[in-house]
Amino acid sequence: MSKLKINSFQFQEILNLKLGCYYPVKKLMTKNEILSVLKFYRFHNKFFPMPIFLDISEKQKKDIENQKRINLYYKKIKIGLLTNFDIFSLEKKKLLKLFFKTKSLSHPGVKNFLSTKPFFISGNIKLSKQILFEKKLYPDYWKKFFRRKKIVEIGSFHTRNIPHSTHEKLHDMALEKCDGLFIHPMTGKLKKGDFTRKTILNSYKIYLKKKKNNKIFFDEFLSHARFGGPREAAFHAIIRKNFGCTHFIVGRDHAGIKNFYSKYASQKFCIKNKKKIGLKILSFKEPFYCNKCEVMKGNFEKCKHKKKNKRYLSGTTIRKHILNKKKLPKYYLRKEIL
């Protein structure tokens, strides 16, 4: 039986697939399924926006194509078995506009997709019994947890940043509409210049200790950023629905990068497709800090001061300040986190 070695990115995808994070998708997609998702946002009869695939090299293809079953290995450890598989290629350049709304090589998602290996493999994966997970990684754990706590309406918050003042305001606004909030930061493979997994987890540990709110729940999500804008925002919402959430916060330029998507494109797309996604979309306008009021305010809150007194915060600005060793204004984030 042949071996197929996978990398850390592929290992993460397989785990999320098998844990149930990507339901209704339960297996690696076929060529027709990928095309259907990219062209029509459909996986069989259900709305689904993101292709789930495993790419392989030409050498790997030759090694496995005449086999019926393949052992999957990650870091010299057998992690599972792949059966009922099919190997295919995709015209990646022709799919870029569908996937990312752009062909620009300065878009990291485009660059990442084009750098995938020339072939793809679909099929069913059975994980080895030796692969054990923390209970909290399973979507079903959180569904049962929320039911046990009798929390009916659960807001969810996706991020790849440390918690800053804008995020805190969004959390508070979500808790005004929901019985609880599930903060679920993405801590898998990110891009150069992003906060590390350790930094995100430590920052939230401090934040939750300071916040002292028993309606806030937290766990990490080991996945990677695709920078797919509206398409990826809907994908993030579906994942949180699988974790038992009823509401999802879609932020400013959610899953965007640079200026490839308009500020509220992800919100508009998710609101338009909220019935297909299957949960309520919390589409707050960007909160701001008023220099005169000296407080963070939601866009709906009255402020008599002029526009020049409003300060809009972003994770990008925070990262740039830290990388360039510049001092951040105090209102950006808690001093303990800084």
Q: 3-18 pLDDT, tens per residue?
A: 999 999 999 999 999 9
Question: Quick check: 208 and 241 in contact, CB under 8 A?
Answer: no
Q: pLDDT at position 24, please?
A: 98
Q: pLDDT at position 135, please?
A: 82
Question: Quick check: 85 and 70 in contact, CB under 8 A?
Answer: yes
**Residues 6-31, mean pLDDT to the nearest whole number:** 96
What would the pLDDT profile of 32-88 be if each residue is shown by its tens digit? 999 999 999 999 999 999 999 999 999 999 999 889 999 999 999 999 999 999 999
Distance CA 191, CA 225 (A): 8
- What's the pTM value of the predicted model, to 2 decimals? 0.95
Q: Which pair of tokens denotes residue 212?
A: 């002292």
What would the pLDDT profile of 157-200 be if each residue is shown by its tens digit? 999 999 999 999 999 999 999 999 999 999 987 777 889 999 99
Q: pLDDT at position 14, please?
A: 95
Backbone angles phi, psi at 95, to 5 degrees: -95, -10
Question: Strand pairing partners for 157?
Answer: 183
What would the pLDDT profile of 119-159 be if each residue is shown by its tens digit? 999 999 999 987 877 888 899 999 999 999 999 999 999 99
| 24 preceded by a cis bond (ω within 30 of 0) | yes
Distance CA 163, CA 171 (A): 10
Question: Strand pairing partners for 28?
Answer: 123
Rg of the chain on CA atoms, in Å: 21
* Residue 312 identity: Y
Question: Quick check: 180 and 216 in contact, CB under 8 A?
Answer: yes
Q: pLDDT at position 315, please?
A: 83
What would the pLDDT profile of 210-239 be if each residue is shown by its tens digit? 999 999 999 999 999 999 999 999 999 999
- The residue written with tokens 């929901």 in the block is 178
Report the 3 state secondary structure along the chain: CEEEECCHHHHHHHHHHHHCCCCCCCCECCHHHHHHHHHHCEECCEECCCCCCCEECHHHHHHHCCCCEEEEEECCEEEEEEEEEEEECCCHHHHHHHHHCCCCCCCHHHHHHHCCCCEEEEEEEEECCCCCCCHHHCHHHHHHHHHHCCCCCEEEECCCCCCCHHHHHHHHHHHHHCCEEEECCECCCCCCCCCCHHHHHHHHHHHHHHHCCCCEEECCECCCCCCCCHHHHHHHHHHHHHCCCCEEECCCCCCCCCCCCCCCHHHHHHHHCHHHHCCEEECCCCCEEECCCCEEECCCCCCCCCHHHEECCCHHHHHHHHHCCCCCCCCCCCCCCC
Distance CA 261, CA 108 (A): 13
What would the pLDDT profile of 267-319 be if each residue is shown by its tens digit? 999 999 999 999 999 999 999 999 999 999 998 888 999 999 999 998 888 98
Quick one: 195 exposed, middle or buried, by C-beta within 10 A (0-12, 13-18, 19+)?
Answer: buried
Question: Strand pairing partners for 3?
Answer: 71
Q: pLDDT at position 282, please?
A: 97
Q: pLDDT at position 202, please?
A: 97
